[in-house]
Structure formats: C-alpha cells, structure tokens
Structure 1
C-alpha cells in the first residue's frame, strides 16, 4: 500500500544510495585503498538503511515531542491511547542503531580520507560523506534521537575539518548537513506540537459532546418527571382550582397520596414497581407516613435482581402496620434494602421502644 511514510522511506533510500554512489566515481583521482572505500560505503549503506527500516517490536517508543533519549517500555494500552490521541509519527530509533550511526559518523570520514590520495581529499568522490553522514543524521533526527544526531554532526565536523581544513569542510557541504539536521529537528517539533494541539482539541470536542449528551439526557429525564407529575397531580390540582381551594377530606387524602407518589418517583424510582406502588399507597391510605430513599445502593443491579428485591419489599410492606415507614437502599455489599417501621408507644413518644419493624432485604445470590 502506497502511503506518505513509504514514499519518504523510498526517497531516503534513493538519496543515500545516490550519495554513496558518488564515492565509487573516482575517475578523476587516485584511490590507494579501494577496498577500504568499498567497506566504508557498505558500512554507510547498511547503517543508513537500518536506521530507515528498523522498527522495534516492543519498547523504545517516545511520546511525540519528548526529548528523552532513554528507552521507554510500552504496552498495548499505551499504543492504543497514542492512536486515540492522534499522536503518530516515526518510532524512536533502537540503541543498537544509534551506536551504528555514531560509529559510521566517526569511521567513514577517516576511512575515506586515508583511502584516497592526500591531494584528492577535496574531490567529489572523496567528499561524498559530508552529505552522506548529514543525511544519516537527518534520518536519526527524524527517528526522534536528537542527541545522537547532533553528536554525529559533531563527529563529522571534527573529522572533516581535520582532513580537509575548516574552510574546505564548510565550503564542500558541512554547512548543508548542519542545516539539514536543524531543519529536521524543527520539522519534528512542529509536527509534534500540531499533533498535541490536535489531540487537545479532540479531547475538548469529546468533552463538549459528552456534556451536551448529558444535558440532553437530563432534559429528557426532566420531561419524563414533569409528565409523571402532571399525570399524578394534574387531577388533584384541577379539582382544587375548580373548587376554589375548598377541599373535602377525600380530596385532601388524594392530594397527600399524590404528593407521596411524586416523592417516591423522584427519590427511589429503582425501588418501585406496580406491587410496591400499590403497597405504599395502601400504607398511606391507612395513615402511615412513608419515606422512600434510594441513595445509589442499587446502581449496577440488573432488572432480574431488582424484580426479586422489589417482590420482597412489597411482601414486607404488605405485612407492615407501623405509623412511620423508612425504606432506604443500603451501601452494604450484602444488604440491598433496609425497611424500618416505628409506631407511637402506648406511653407516648420514645426513642428506643417504638421500633416495631426491622427488615433487611439481602442481595440475591450474595
């Protein structure tokens, strides 16, 4: 499959091969040690192409924009998160390839200078390494090893100036190699900054979408609650307005029952089904004060388990005769719902003796 990455890799191979081929074109000068020249070219090509194609299978992955030179252990989760955040780019060069690149930068210039005649050290076939090592260090820079790349440029500078003089090295290509590496570093930093900005904008967009979705859900829940309130309290309010606020005892009872149903629907909807609602209304009709409260103890409970809990709750309420009933979900892992009933003692109010119902409904299967 043709991609930008594959095209760039092929261009890097072709360009470095062209620079190396110049070292074999020595028709205008004398080469005293051709085997050394060929060996230096082979070392250069092998090292360069390793730096282009070597992709580590695990570890040694640097986050975009990081200047850290050390290996970093990675996992599938890290790679997945990197892909989600949109931060992509060349993976960092393994340490073995770094060592080869530095060795090439130190060995090749000296080997070429010793293999050719001293008078031909400024000829094109003897100065190809200025551009070749510069291209190699540019590849190393793109592979996120800036300290290695600049160290290689320093080695190239020292070797080339030692064999052909400062002016000769600067005029024959050393400046271009430095510029290549500097431009590569600026390009990598710019791409990483753009990737981070894109990732940040993506996260903000996701957060905004999640917030908007939660608001839509809350609006829908509010509409449902309003519809329930109108369905429950609408008839009572209609009669109240029609009678000018003068209610009979039966109307007051219906208003109190409507208020209780609304509070139940808002405070403990997961505790309710038709049987539980019927028993709560029966308890209120006989004059009991009922409080239903779900504090999150049933979050994550499936519908089948809820049905069992509700059935036990309805059975408990069916046999209850307390004046006040408190129904609450429990934070305990074993207890689902606690039902407490209290009644006025014969001698008057009491803090200890008026609890006449205590029922803990356990989580089924726990």
Structure 2
C-alpha cells in the first residue's frame, strides 16, 4: 500500500544507502579498508534498525496499541536503539578518519559520515528521541572538528546535519500539535453530535408529552370553555381525573405506560385519591426491568380498593417502587387511616412469586411512604 509513511521510509532507506555507497567510492587507496567496511556495516545496520524497528508498547496518552499508533506516525525508538545510534555517532567519524589516513580525511569518500550521521540523528529525532539526536550531533561535531578542523567540518556538511535535525524537530512538534488539535476537534464534534441528538430526543419527548396532555385535558378544557366555566359534578370529576393524569406525566413518566395510565384513571374514576412520585431512582433500570415494574404496578393498582393510593419509587437496591393503600378505619377519612395495602415491586424481572401481595407494614419497618407523601 502506498502511503506517506511508506514513501518517507523508502526515501530514508535510499538516502542512507547512497551515503554508505559514497564511502566505498574511493578515489585513492585506503590504508585500512576492513575498518571502512566494518564501519559502514555498523552505520547501515544501526540506521535501518532505527527506521524499521517497532517497539510493541501501548501509548499511555491514548491507550492504543503501537500497531494502531504506527499507522498514523512514528513510534518512540527503543532505548537500546538510541544507545546504538549514539555509539555509531561516536565511533563512525573517528573510525573513518583513522581508516582513510590523514591525507584523505577531507575527500568526498571520507566525509560521507557528516551527512550519514546527520541523517541517522534526523531519523532518531523523527522516532521521538530528541535528546539522543542532539547528543549525537554534538558527538559528530566534536569528532569531525578534531579530525579535519572546524572550518572544513562546517563547510563539508556539518551545518547541513544540524539543520536537518532542527527541521525534523520542528516538523515533529508541528505534526504532534496538529494531531492533538485534530483529536480535540473530533471530540468536540462527537460532543456536539451527542448534544444535538439529546436535544432531538428531548424535543420529541416534549412533543409526545404535549400531545398526550392535549389528549387528556383537551376535551375537558373544550367543554369548560363551551359552558363558560359552569361545570356539573361529572365534568368536575373528569377535570380532576385529567389533572391527576397530567401530574403523573410530570412527576413519574418512567412509571407510566398505557396499562398503568388506564388503571390510574379507573382508580380515580371510582373516587380514590392517587399520588404518583418518581424521585429518579429508576434512572439506571433497563427496558426489560422497566416493563416488568410497570406491569406489576398496573396489577397492583387494578387489585386495590383503597381510598388513597401512594406510589413512590424506592432507593432500595432491590425494590423499584412501593404502592401503599390507605382507607378510613371508620366513617370518613382522617389522619388515622389504616394501611390496607402494601406492595413492594422488585427491580428485577424475575422472582414473580410473593412480591405483589398486599400486606400491612412490618413491625419496625422503615416508616410509612404514604404518610411521607402527604
């Protein structure tokens, strides 16, 4: 596959091979040719290892595997690779200067290491070892100036090597900054998309709530307007049922489905006072658990004969909602109403037995939710 990374790798490979080949293009006899061959072998092996070796690590800033990161940019050079590069920067200039002899130290086949070590340190810089690269350049500068003099070293390629490494550092920093900005923009885009989706959901929910409110209260309001506010007992009963239904939609939408709404309307229709309250304890429930809770709630309301019904969600980790029914112990309703219904609806869909029986509160049980709701 042709990519920018593969093209740059091929260029680095070709350029370092060319610099190594220059060291073999002798224009005069070399006193120590074996040293030249060994030095070239060390240089090329070190350079190509620094180009191709990928360290199997996971980057701490992104948590991604090195194989995924390498698809976007160079990984960090292993420590042993940096040590090998520094060893080459220290050995190659002195070995070549010794091998070619004092008379040929400024010849083109003897000064290739100025560009060669510069290219190696450029690769090390791209592999994210800036301190190693600059130390290698310092070693190259010291050795070349000692063997051929400062003026010849600067004129024959030392300046170019320094410029290569500096430009490589600037490019790496620029690319890293661009990558961070791109990642930040992608995060912002995802956040904006999530916010937009949430707004669409909220608008859809509000539209549904408005349509439901119009369906519940619209006929009552139309009748009230048509009669000029003069309502008979049946109209008032319908208005109270509509008001209670609207309160349910506002206070406890997660407890409601069509079956629960129908049972609540029937309970209010027979004269019961119904209070439904959700304080957010159902937010973590999945859809299957919610369906189970609503089905149990509809059954509990259907079976109730209490004059007052109090339905509240529960903070208990096992109980989703509690239904409390209270009726007068004598004629009329008073603060001494007895609890004649107590249903605890579990959160889990299973365990159907024994959870929907109405019973009075257990002795010493944690208070009366119906009394608290009042």
Q: The TM-score by the shorter chain falls in which range? A: 0.7 to 0.9
CA distance in 2, matches of 1:155, 1:188: 22
Counterparts in 2 of 1:79 and 1:317: CA distance versus 1, 3 Å: farther
User: Paired residue for 1:282?
Assistant: 266
1:284 Cα deviation from its structure 2 partner: 1.3
1:281 Cα deviation from its structure 2 partner: 1.7
**Is the Cα contact below 8 Å between 2:56 and 2:67 reproduced in 1?**
no
1:240 equivalenced with 2:195 (yes/no) = no
Q: How far does the alpha carbon of each residue in 1:278-298 deviate from its partner, in whole angstroms, 9 at most, with x for none?
A: 321222123322111233434
Counterparts in 2 of 1:245 and 1:176: CA distance versus 1, 3 Å: same
1:50 equivalenced with 2:49 (yes/no) = yes
CA distance in 2, matches of 1:307, 1:199: 40
1:349 Cα deviation from its structure 2 partner: 4.2
**Is the Cα contact below 8 Å between 2:288 and 2:349 reproduced in 1?**
no
CA distance in 1, matches of 2:259, 2:182: 54
Q: How far does the alpha carbon of each residue in 1:319-365 deviate from its partner, in whole angstroms, 9 at most, with x for none?
A: 323332211222322112211223455497447x6433322122333
Of 154, 157, 165, the match for 1:181: 165
1:144 equivalenced with 2:128 (yes/no) = yes
Q: How far does the alpha carbon of each residue in 1:132-179 deviate from its partner, in whole angstroms, 9 at most, with x for none?
A: 000000000011110110011011111111111111211111111000
1:198 Cα deviation from its structure 2 partner: 1.5
**Is the Cα contact below 8 Å between 2:5 and 2:73 reproduced in 1?**
no
**Is the Cα contact below 8 Å between 1:62 and 1:91 reproduced in 2?**
no
Q: Normalized against structure 2, the TM-score is what?
A: 0.86
**Is the Cα contact below 8 Å between 1:291 and 1:327 reproduced in 2?**
yes
Counterparts in 2 of 1:244 and 1:62: CA distance versus 1, 3 Å: closer
User: Paired residue for 2:365?
Assistant: none
CA distance in 2, matches of 1:62, 1:208: 26
**Is the Cα contact below 8 Å between 1:137 and 1:149 reproduced in 2?**
yes
Counterparts in 2 of 1:187 and 1:305: CA distance versus 1, 3 Å: closer
User: Paired residue for 2:356?
Assistant: none
1:270 equivalenced with 2:273 (yes/no) = no
Counterparts in 2 of 1:193 and 1:168: CA distance versus 1, 3 Å: same
CA distance in 2, matches of 1:133, 1:8: 18
1:128 equivalenced with 2:127 (yes/no) = no
User: Paired residue for 1:70?
Assistant: none
Write out aligned runs for 1:158-169 (5 A): 158-169=142-153
User: Paired residue for 2:17?
Assistant: 17
Higher RCO (CA < 8 A, seq sep 6+): 1
1:7 equivalenced with 2:7 (yes/no) = yes
CA distance in 2, matches of 1:95, 1:152: 14
User: Paired residue for 2:366?
Assistant: none
1:191 equivalenced with 2:175 (yes/no) = yes
User: Paired residue for 1:231?
Assistant: 215
CA RMSD across the alignment: 2.4
CA distance in 1, matches of 2:133, 2:338: 84
Unaligned runs of 5+ in 1: 65-73
CA distance in 2, matches of 1:306, 1:62: 40
1:256 equivalenced with 2:240 (yes/no) = yes
1:365 equivalenced with 2:365 (yes/no) = no
1:303 Cα deviation from its structure 2 partner: 4.7
| Number of equivalenced pairs | 349
Write out aligned runs for 1:94-133 (5 A): 94-133=78-117
CA distance in 2, matches of 1:350, 1:259: 24
Q: How far does the alpha carbon of each residue in 1:177-205 deviate from its partner, in whole angstroms, 9 at most, with x for none?
A: 00000000001111111111121122112
Counterparts in 2 of 1:213 and 1:312: CA distance versus 1, 3 Å: closer
